[in-house]
Amino acid sequence: MPDNPGLWCQEGWTRFRHGDFACTVVSDGLLEMGPARDNFPNAEPADVDALLTGHHLEPERVRLDQNLLVVDTPDGRVLFDTGVGTVPELGVATFGAQTGKAVANLEAAGIDPASIDVVAITHAHPDHCWGLVDADGKPLYPNARIIVSEVEYRHWTDLSKVDSAPNQHLRDHYTGADLNLNAYAGRLTLIGDGDEVVPGITAIATPGHSPGHVVYRITSGGRTMICWGDLCHHYVLLLRRPDWGFRFDYDKAAATAQRRRIYDLVEAERHAVFAYHFPFPGLGHLRRDGEGYAWLPAQPEPE
Ligand SMILES: [Zn+2]
């Protein structure tokens, strides 16, 4: 695999308008996931491969984008999720040299990390919250307050769980969340369902993939977009077949129920979706199709 983060994301960022809000999408690079066939407890591996092949995707090499969203509102500049970060023993060491591009791409887009007022985290998994600090563990967003679900914060920063975690990867989840979130001690705002981030932006609790996973409802000028983190990772697999479940969900039944609930909400209300792991820039809509939904990439409205 050539180390070419520009392969399908030439600039690493793009802008669009959402109502009165100016939005910028910044890439943290690509996650190479390898084959996905064994990750769905309710699916036959051959059916996973067939669904990918049917969408002209390579079953041996499933890749996920990482799309960070910056929203400029009259009440502050909000960044949603942060990428894998560059702490040497975490981020890039775990996820590969195609990742860890967030800050470089923010700066390429003309966004100074010091200008971010709020960082809103969907959940505290590595690819969403490990980019809060630099390689020395210092805050990368020196003027930001951090918004994270209280349930999520309490779960992942409980270091008493580290010793009993079943593998190093999970041990890193706890220590990485603690390192990143607690670097902002005194500037953390712990939220729950329905809480406001800034005017126009509220959290919707969607526990399942992670104990305190939230999605964010972003409304301006009569338009609503759901920024959904890891509610769904892949624009085909768990969207077309929500019933397959996902091996890495903390609570599989709850995660599947939340997926269905938010898919149905988005379709019924004709909301836009901003999806962290969907093909760059991760903006689109859903259309009910068979047992699940089809992804309809949007043509973003120019700024
Ligand atoms: Zn993720």
3 pLDDT higher than 70: no
Domain membership flag for residue 130? yes
pLDDT score at 214: 98
227 Cα–ligand 1 center, Å: 13
Question: In sequence order, what are the residues at sequence separation of 6 or more whose Cβ sits closer than 8 angstroms to the Cβ of residue 200?
Answer: 21, 73, 75, 218, 219, 220
| Ligand 1: centre distance to CA 170 (Å) | 14
How would residue 10 be classed by pLDDT, with cut points 50, 70 and 90? low
State yes or no: pLDDT of 31 exceeds 50: yes
148 Cα–ligand 1 center, Å: 15
* Residue 4 banded pLDDT, cuts 50, 70, 90: very low
Ligand 1 centroid to Cα of residue 280, in Å, is 14
Give the span between the Cα atoms of 130 and 224, in whole angstroms. Answer: 28
Cα 291 to averaged position of ligand 1 atoms, centre (Å)? 24
Query: Across 65-155, where does the E strand assignment appear?
Result: 67-73, 76-80, 118-120, 145-149
CA 263 / ligand 1 centre spacing (Å)? 18
Compute the distance from residue 124 Cα to the ligand 1 centre, in Å. 9
User: What pLDDT, in 10s, does the model give residues 75-121?
Assistant: 999 999 999 998 877 877 778 888 999 999 999 999 999 999 999 99
Please compute the mean of the pLDDT values over residues 171-191 and round it to a whole number. 97
201 Cα–ligand 1 center, Å: 21
Domain membership of residue 234 as a residue range? 13-297
- Residue 285 within a domain: yes
Ligand 1: distance of its center to the CA of 233 in Å? 7
Averaged pLDDT, 184-207: 98
Report whether pLDDT(200) > 50.
yes
Asked if the structure places residue 7 within a domain, the reply is: no
Q: Looking at the domain assignment, is residue 30 inside a domain?
A: yes
| 220 domain-assigned | yes
Report if residue 89 sits inside a domain.
Answer: yes
Question: What mean pLDDT do residues 240-256 have?
Answer: 96
- Max CA pair span of the chain: 50
Tell me the CA–centroid distance for residue 181 and ligand 1, in Å: 17
Q: How many domains does the chain have?
A: 1
Please state the pTM of the whole predicted model.
0.94
How far is ligand 1, taken at its centre, from the CA of residue 195, in Å? 22
- Which CATH number fits the domain that encloses residue 262? 3.60.15.10
CA of residue 243 to ligand 1 center, whole Å: 19
291 domain residue, yes or no:
yes
